[in-house]
Amino acid sequence: SLSLRSYHEKVIDHYERPRNVGSLPRSDPDVGTGLVGAPACGDVMKLQIRVDDKSGKIVDVKFKTFGCGSAIASSSYMTERVRGMSLEEASQIRNTEIAKELCLPPVKLHCSMLAEDAIKSAIKDYKTKRAT
Ligand code: FES
Ligand code: FES
């Protein structure tokens, strides 16, 4: 079917050529780190943002995902999506948008949830750092 084909194309593309894989120095004051896990399957996702103090925008973003293809694709998609966004904009991205964009089947919804949790966690970490 068409939806099965596009699931494969988009997920496999992000899976085979994931964007923005890597790490940012966690101790940098302008870096926020999100580290989240999915209890259901044990997969883990780390997503980091670097925020420009003046503009308040996300200027760099990296991820490492130890998980299934859908989780890797979701985090890769998320990194592309949030670059250049304000923290407010980035915090409003829902996993349903990712799932729709990557045509994830219902059983893979929690994989995209990991990406939503990860960006929220990274934003929270950055804000906590800035407040202290
Ligand atoms: Fe198929 Fe995880 S991508 S089981
Ligand atoms: Fe758990 Fe995909 S199967 S994150």
Residue 67 Cα to ligand 1 middle (Å):
9
Query: What percent of the chain shows pLDDT beyond 70?
Result: 94
Assess contact for 30 and 49: CB atoms under 8 A: no
Nearest CA to ligand 1 atom 4: 68
Name the more confident of 38 and 84: 84
Is the CB of 115 within 6 Å of ligand 2?
no
* Mean of pLDDT values over 61-82: 94
45 Cβ closer than 6 Å to some ligand 1 atom? no
pLDDT at 14: 80
Query: In this structure, what token pair is assigned to residue 121?
Result: 């966690």
- What's the average model confidence in pLDDT over 117-131? 96
* Res 2 pLDDT > 60: no
List the structure tokens of 115: 């990406």
The ligand that comes nearest to the alpha carbon of residue 15 is 1
For ligand 2, atom 1: residue with the closest CA: 41
CA angle 79, 44, 65 (to 5 degrees): 40
Q: For residue 33, what are the contacts with CB-CB under 8 A and spacing of at least 6?
A: 24, 26, 46, 47, 48, 121, 122, 125
Lowest mean pLDDT among 10-19, 37-46, 85-94: 10-19
Comparing CA positions, the residue from 19, 3, 8 lying closest to residue 79 is: 19
